[in-house]
Amino acid sequence: MTGICDGRVVVVTGAGRGLGRAHALAFAAEGARLVVNDLGVQLDGTPQTAPDTPAGRVVEEIRAAGGEAVAHAGDIATTVGAASLVHTALDTYGRLDTLVNNAGFLRDRMLVNLDEDDWDAVVHVHLKGHFLPLRHAAAHWRAEAKAGRTPTARIVNTSSGAGLLGSVGQGNYSSAKAAIIGLTLVAAAELARYGVQVNAIAPAARTRMTERAFAKTMAAPEDGFDAMAPENVSPLVVWLGSAASDGVTGRVFEAEGGRITVMEGWRAGPTADKGTRWTPAEAGKTARELLTRAEPPGAVYGA
């Protein structure tokens, strides 16, 4: 297999199903060698009982198509698991070029019913599950750069529309996905000197995590194009993970169907400066006037 990722070594977390699987197959089709990570858990993060693993099945698909891949079943939200993920790439292929952070699960509740354990579990797997692989991969790339072998490295993080706008019933998930955007911006700034570009995507696709939300779009499309197929998101991820994306870093993209959008985050809007301290009444009056000139926020999903 040859393509825009020919010779690159790519790690994809949560790659046993859905978006992660689509990304892994797409990278392999473009010539990449893969480390396919998946813990093999159910939708809420509890262990599965199937004898085979999702990661193993994806590896078999890649190999059957003539590609190279190995499975990794470690918990990347732990230091040991994240470190072994990076070492698997280095021990198997001798290098690491791209990290795609994708792993996650859901435990949806309205805020008044959201248990602390459900909050901690979702933030743990999404946010810490991004930070730890990023941290261990970045340490390797920094060492390479300091040794005079500056890499052409790429990190693609996975946020969500829920992280950009919020989503009713998903306070834990929305918070973690918003934090991933902050992590992306910091990592892009800190790691640029070592040859590492860091971007994030906010995908919309039909997966185990979204099948209820997209139930109305589950029917087979009449025109042959399935707008909610996870495979539609992967081309952008592959490009961001390739050397062809040179110069693109610290960006957030929405991807859905045939649409790609560059998201523009917090920027200064209407401003008033009194030059001294406001009274509460003055501050309120001024805030209301500024709001009349500000762009309205996007609607929270499910509101």
Q: Which residues are catalytic?
A: 160, 173, 177
Q: What distance in Å separates the CA atoms of residue 25 and residue 19, rounded to the nearest whole number? A: 10
d(CA 37, CA 21): 10
Phi first, then psi: what are they for 96, rounded to 5°? -145, 130
Q: Cα 34 vs. chain centroid, distance in angstroms?
A: 17
CA distance 95 to 84: 14
Distance CA 11, CA 32 (A): 10
Is residue 43 within 8 A of residue 106, CB to CB? The reply is yes
Q: Which of 117, 212, 104 is nearest to 159 (CA)?
A: 104
- Identify whether the C-beta of residue 86 lies closer than 8 Å to the C-beta of residue 133: yes
DSSP state of 77: T
Q: How far apart are CA 214 and CA 212, in angstroms?
A: 5
Do 43 and 69 contact (CB within 8 A), yes or no? Answer: no
